[in-house]
């Protein structure tokens, strides 16, 4: 992606800026000028309203990437998910700060602002959204009455945060 295109898309990448059709109520990310849901698309012209997504959602579907695209070799394995936001649109994003084995459909997540990549030798850093497990999902283990909670066991070195 060129630097110019990246900066044009800044409101969506940084703020999760979306749009909602005032005729049918459908929400879209990235924002649309015309509603593709309304039967007569042209009637939605001028009726699309800006919408700020909360970033809250749940994993709708996901995959664990083991054979990465160029530039992401140091992050494998990582989780790429479709996240259904509270407002309706489904976003694609990486799920971070969690073991791939702990990700499941229905996992509640929250968008977080992170570094995406660096642009070659020029050193331009691109930022955007990824998803982290929502605080409500992180619970302390509870032992049955009369038993103690086992100590977590070491699983070896963890991959670097991205």
- Which residue range(s) make up the domain with 62? 54-135
150 within a domain of the structure (yes/no): no
Quote the pLDDT of residue 147: 55
Bigger pLDDT: 16 or 62? 62
Burial class (CB in 10 A: 0-12, 13-18, 19+), 89: buried
96 within a domain of the structure (yes/no): yes
> What is the domain-level CATH number for residue 113?
2.40.50
Residue 27 has phi, psi (to 5 degrees) of -110, 150
| Rounded percentage of the chain residues whose pLDDT exceeds 90 | 46
Q: Is the pLDDT of residue 58 over 90?
A: yes
Confidence band, pLDDT 50/70/90 cuts, at residue 128: confident
Q: Is the pLDDT of residue 158 over 60?
A: no
Assessment of whether the complete model's pTM goes beyond 0.85: no
| DSSP letters for 71-89 | T-GGG-SEEEEEEEETTS-
């Amino acid at each position: 992606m060129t630097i110019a295109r990246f900066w044009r898309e800044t409101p969506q990448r940084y703020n999760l800026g979306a749009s909602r059709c005032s005729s049918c109520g459908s929400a879209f990310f990235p924002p649309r000028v015309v509603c593709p849901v309304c039967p007569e698309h042209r009637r939605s012209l001028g009726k699309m309203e800006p919408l700020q997504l909360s970033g809250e959602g749940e994993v709708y579907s996901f995959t664990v990437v083991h054979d990465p695209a160029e530039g992401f070799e140091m992050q494998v394995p990582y989780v790429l998910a479709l996240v259904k936001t509270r407002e309706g649109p489904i976003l694609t994003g990486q799920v971070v700060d969690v073991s791939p084995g702990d990700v499941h459909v229905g996992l509640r997540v929250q968008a977080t602002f992170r570094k995406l990549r660096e642009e070659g030798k020029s050193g331009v850093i691109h930022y955007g959204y990824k998803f982290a497990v929502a605080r409500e999902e992180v619970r302390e283990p509870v032992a049955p009455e009369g038993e103690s909670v086992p100590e977590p066991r070491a699983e070896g070195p963890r991959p670097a945060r991205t």
